[in-house]
Chains A and B, each alone.
Chain A
Amino acid sequence: AQSVTQLDSQVPVFEEAPVELRCNYSSSVSVYLFWYVQYPNQGLQLLLKYLSGSTLVKGINGFEAEFNKSQTSFHLRKPSVHISDTAEYFCAVSVGSGGSNYKLTFGKGTLLTVNP
């Protein structure tokens, strides 16, 4: 079974600083990886996804993530954050094997707080 570990439950940063939100996964088969963002009082929105191909994935709002198979990681980065990036971020993994498993497993989330 797959699992996802988000190493930091909270990350406070100052505006315009760079940020990295860490995510590690475990799975014995090939995976599809996602980052979702949840703004206060809203549902989850897809930020970016890794399916195959280039290991550097670019998403919305200037975020990007790098898939590292050897380290089983999918860390999310942004070079300069804004106050509006304050939200909770969830890493998720879905395994792929003939399309028989549609289960999306989420990490416990990282609350990013951007301070002025």
Chain B
Amino acid sequence: EAQVTQNPRYLITVTGKKLTVTCSQNMNHEYMSWYRQDPGLGLRQIYYSMNVEVTDKGDVPEGYKVSRKEKRNFPLILESPSPNQTSLYFCASSLIGTNQPQHFGDGTRLSIL
């Protein structure tokens, strides 16, 4: 089954404790992206990647890091999480092309205390 898998689905942690949210897709997609969803703000793009070793900033990259060492994986790293990063995070992937629909994971709800 074609899917985008995020882990963990839920996490409660404390300020400053480094964490990684993993994202994996099995569709051989070149393009992967991270979004955060906040009430009343919709989805905002954090980082995206066009292919292995190619990443770029989205609209709200501050406080986040990403890496793309393999085509299927695109982890999101919070080196020193802060409460304003409490949010619902989605990973998505697609084939290359502006007209390609993105496939989304089920989301990761992070609470930073």
Which listed residue (A95, A97, A102) contacts B31, Cβ 8 A?
A: A102
Contact of A90 with B43 in the complex, beta carbons under 8 Å:
yes
A/B pair count, beta carbons within 8 Å:
60
Complex: A43 Cα to B5 Cα, angstroms: 11
Q: Which residues on the A side are within 8 Å of B99 (C-beta)?
A: 32, 49, 51, 94, 96
- Judge if B74 is at the interface, Cβ distance under 8 Å: no
Contact of A45 with B40 in the complex, beta carbons under 8 Å:
no
- Judge if A104 is at the interface, Cβ distance under 8 Å: yes
> What are the interface flags for A84-96 relative to B under an 8 Å C-beta threshold, 1 for contact and 0 otherwise?
0000001000111
Binds B, one of A66-74, A75-83, A105-113: A105-113
Which listed residue (B35, B96, B104, B106) contacts A102, Cβ 8 A?
A: B96
Q: Which residues on the B side are within 8 Å of A42 (C-beta)?
A: 106-107
Could you tell me how many residues of chain B have their Cβ less than 8 Å away from some Cβ of chain A? Answer: 26
B interface list, Cβ under 8 A from A: 4, 31, 33, 35, 40-45, 48, 50, 58, 90, 92, 96-99, 101-107
A interface list, Cβ under 8 A from B: 9, 32, 34, 36, 41-46, 49, 51, 90, 94-97, 99, 101-104, 106-109
